Amino acid sequence: MAADFRREVWHFETREAGRVLNPLNYPIFIFFLTFFLMWFAAWLGGRISQRIHGLEEEVRPDYGTVLAATLTLLGLIIGFSFSMATSRYDLRKHYEEEEANAIGTEYVRADLLPEPDRTQVRSLLRQYTDLRIQFYNARTWDDRAQLIQTRGKVQDELWAAVSKPAMAQPTPVIALAVAGMNDVINSQGYTQAAWWNRIPVGAWCLMFGIALFCNVMLGFGSRKIDGRVLMVLPLVVAVSFFLIADIDSPRGGVIRVHPQNLESLAASLGE
């Protein structure tokens, strides 16, 4: 049953790796796209205002109030999305630490296994740790697909290495080693789930829609079209979207989870 589940997960991950790359994985693309779209929206609003001869002076105070309220709503949504992105980033860091702890604990529990299973498990755990470090550092989809395939094989070998002596001698001591190996495999699944947990596309669409509307209102309320002034809000929004996309993207951003706990563990296991 567990083998069938891992096989299904492997097929799903492989399909994910072969899909067309998500634009949200490229924060710099989000920055330029957002900036030009927002600036064009502000310019368009100014052009519309000129065509209908702008706002009347007695209407401007009320219009300013509506514009301020709309910008406040945009700020709240951006802040909420930033909070979502940082919580997901912290979750990825947490599971990297949990994964390193699970592997380290199982490496110690390998002493409970008889030879030659003890040596085999420790050798496989060192190999598995290196694969997990490569998972965090992988940048191309080809490398990721290869890692997924290799990781699945090593996990099967690890489980076989602890399950065989457990079935031959079903003692509580060996059961601790089996439970530890189960934690190692589960921690990888939790890590993968955290990497898939991204800000919903619907939330991005809502932010883009409100930001575009705010820039149109800004341009519409201006007395004359000044490209330098109309560039301020699009630039601020583009930087905000860039930061959110950067933190939310596990691989494509500048801010990424560094596997420092796994690297420290690999160094200690190699001693």
pLDDT exceeding 90 applies to what percent of the chain? Answer: 35
The mean-pLDDT minimum among 137-151, 165-179, 204-218 falls in: 137-151
Whole-number Å distance between alpha carbons of 200 and 108: 40
**pLDDT of res. 20:** 43
The region of weakest confidence among 2-16, 48-62, 109-123, 218-232 is 2-16
List the structure tokens of 170: 């079903």
Give the pLDDT of residue 21.
59
* 37 Cα distance to chain centroid: 25
Q: Which is nearest to 223 in space by CA: 2, 62, 49? A: 49
pLDDT digits (tens, 9 = 90+) for 44-84: 888 887 787 766 777 778 788 888 899 999 999 999 999 99
pTM tops 0.95, yes or no: no
Q: Where are the domains of the chain?
A: 23-269
